[in-house]
Structure 1
Amino acid sequence: MKKGILLVNLGSPESPEPKDVKKYLGEFLMDERVIDIPYIARAALVKGIILKTRPKASAAAYKKIWWEEGSPLIVLSERLQNKIQKQVEYPVALAMRYGSMTIKKGLQELVDKGVEEVLLFPLYPQFAMATTETITVLAEELRQEFFPSLKIESVPAFYNKADYIEVLSNSIKRHLEGKKYDHVLFSYHGVPERHIRKSDVTQSHCKIDKSCCVTPSKAHEYCYKHQCLEVTRLVGERLQFKKGAFSTSFQSRLGFDPWLQPYTDRTIERLGKNGVENMAIITPAFVSDCLETLEEIAMEGQEIFHEMGGKDFTTVPCLNDDDEFVALLSKWINTWAESKITA
């Protein structure tokens, strides 16, 4: 069977103009795995409130980080795709969960090239309902409706794979070399606490407290918080960060329900108030720099830190199209394809 790969990232508006941002936010926020409340309530919240106020502010944020080539996330994802394609002999397509670069188009592109078996590759190191799960569920729905003869296999979360931790750590080390930092903050995209409980396959383990994430359990396979904390721990150990000189936080909360804590903006504020003069911040929930890393962290985060008296604020780029990262993903893809051939 001819094999192909579909890389999938989050997505982006077509432009940083309010009308395009509104269209994108509407699709994103109406996803039942992003805002997981009943449809009528979700529609009332998104269409009745959020889309009447947020697009203008979000558009202004996008304009701050938009590149001449387009959306940074799209451009960086395309660079990653092109580099991987040079290292594997199988067709590599790129899709986005939201926006015009749809998963359906990506699958169709592969099918048009004769592909019969697809490796679906969500570009997220950690599992979450609002990232990995929404991609795999939609891909299966599309397969059943439009590509019934196509076989799809998904790449599971790779947050704790030794070779991934090595590549991530090497990238962080390179970017921090020669920099001053008293504290290293690992900032991950936030999710509502209820998402953690919903993803608990044991239906009893996840308490969102200080113990459940470090107590072995089957729940960890789908526990976003555990997987984030584990990345912080593994990288901290590999780079020999001093205890107390690095920590984890969560960004980008929405609404009034409890989200994973501590919050990134408040953590940056606290560190500045407590006398940390030089800090570095890493965003390992993303493999490609985007609005959340380039504007929310690198701009807003830095502003908060300086207001609190901090001096040097270093942001470590995502892996993007880092050559080591490209080589790692290509190795995983080739290993998958070869195992299928020899099976």
Structure 2
Amino acid sequence: MKGVLLVNLGSPDNPTPKDVKPYLDEFLMDERVIDTPKWLRNIIVRGIILQTRPKKSAAAYQKIWWEEGSPLIVISERFAAKVRGETKMPVALGMRYGSMSIKNALVELEAKGVDEVLLVPLYPHYAMSSYETVVVKTMEEQQAHFPKMRLTTLPAFYKNEGYIEVLSKSIAEGLKNFDYDHILFSYHGIPERHIRKSDPTRFHCKIDGQCCSTNSVAHNTCYRHQCFDTTERVKAYLGLPDEKVSNSFQSRLPNDPWLKPYTDFEFERFPKEGKKKLAVITPAFVSDCLETLEEIAMEGKHQFQDAGGEDYKHIPCLNDDDAWVNVMAKWVNNWETTGELPS
């Protein structure tokens, strides 16, 4: 029997330092997030970051926490429930980090008689620290606890026509009645070395302004290329002028080169160039979370306005939008009947 496993990032159970600390520990100790030797990762995470970050992160979570719980969890549950209503297959939801684990989701599917699972990492783009770690963790759990269960993984869908259409229409809806000077596609940041580590050719990805536009098998696992490609496809779909659209990368750790340009630097730069009405989209996520709701929608707005910006609009992620649900349902139902995956 076939079933579907949706996997998103995860969240602490409560917006308190006590609950945030173990969540951050699991997240930051992931070797695909901070990809240093374990002894050094221990020092960085447990010796430095976890001494102060839980309190700060808890305060940020408190600013965006909903009455029902973590926005990411609530939104993901709503999305899963809607997908469940559009397919005959069992659909389970798991998180890469936190108490709502991938293992528990697989237990749920197994109890319903599922022995063939379509794994759906809820990330449009391939990156070590998002898509890849979900796949690896799910495979580890399957091999350790569900050896008779077969896994098939949905590929990164950053350029899928159905996804681009619903993303574009969502952005168009968000831009209604907003007279923007500029639209910023802000993607989650990753260290530059992650791009090179993910390059199967070991020579194509130079992050030099040319490699992302030069065709290569490396693009199948190149986060930077995939982000830029998503932007270009949305621009084409909506007919957006080149001069009013750009890309940036948010969230980074210090003392390491991460993908550029940095979103917070762009917030400060735009008003100086006369771009004082800014719309921001965060397409690295399909569900709004701490990073989109607090860092971009709240702190980003303050940074932009403090730098002289006037109007600022954060356009929400797809979340549980019915059109997005229909696209996902089409993918999973097609896999059930034909075994084919979207491209």
Please state which band the TM-score falls in when normalised by the shorter chain. Answer: over 0.9
Amino acid at match of 1:139: T
Give, in whole Å, the separation in 2 of the partners of 1:273 and 1:20.
Answer: 41
Superposed counterparts of 1:180-259, under 5 Å? 180-259=179-258
Residue aligning to 1:30 = 29
Which shows bigger deviation, 307-316 or 31-40? 307-316
The root-mean-square deviation of aligned C-alpha atoms, in Å, is 0.8
Query: What SS is found at the alignment partner of 2:35?
Result: coil
Residue aligning to 1:12 = 11
Superposed counterparts of 1:1-343, under 5 Å? 2-340=1-339
Give, in whole Å, the separation in 2 of the partners of 1:225 and 1:248.
Answer: 10
Deviation at 1:222, TM superposition (A): 0.1
Deviation at 1:288, TM superposition (A): 0.3
Query: What SS is found at the alignment partner of 1:15?
Result: coil
Amino acid at match of 2:244: A
Could you tell me the TM-score, scaled by structure 1's length?
0.98
What does the per-residue CA deviation read over 1:79-114, in whole Å, with 9 as the maximum and x for residues that have no partner? 000000000000000000000010000111000000
Contact map agreement 1:275 1:309 (CA 8 A) in 2? no
What does the per-residue CA deviation read over 1:233-261, in whole Å, with 9 as the maximum and x for residues that have no partner? 11011111112111000000013110000
Deviation at 1:210, TM superposition (A): 0.4
Give, in whole Å, the separation in 2 of the partners of 1:30 and 1:4.
Answer: 30
Deviation at 1:65, TM superposition (A): 0.2
- Unaligned segments of structure 2, at least 5 residues: none
Q: State the percentage of identical aligned residues.
A: 59
What does the per-residue CA deviation read over 1:57-91, in whole Å, with 9 as the maximum and x for residues that have no partner? 11110000000000000000000000000000000
Give, in whole Å, the separation in 2 of the partners of 1:256 and 1:234.
Answer: 33
Deviation at 1:226, TM superposition (A): 0.2
Contact map agreement 1:124 1:285 (CA 8 A) in 2? yes
Give, in whole Å, the separation in 2 of the partners of 1:303 and 1:13.
Answer: 26
What does the per-residue CA deviation read over 1:2-53, in whole Å, with 9 as the maximum and x for residues that have no partner? 0000000000001100111111100000000000000000000000000001
Amino acid at match of 1:241: L
Give, in whole Å, the separation in 2 of the partners of 1:290 and 1:142.
Answer: 25
Give, in whole Å, the separation in 1 of the partners of 2:250 and 2:114.
Answer: 39
Amino acid at match of 1:21: V
Give, in whole Å, the separation in 2 of the partners of 1:272 and 1:63.
Answer: 30
Deviation at 1:275, TM superposition (A): 1.5
What does the per-residue CA deviation read over 1:171-190, in whole Å, with 9 as the maximum and x for residues that have no partner? 11011111121100000000
Give, in whole Å, the separation in 1 of the partners of 2:248 and 2:329.
Answer: 30
**Structure 1 runs (4+) greater than 2 angstroms displaced:** none
Query: What SS is found at the alignment partner of 1:279?
Result: strand
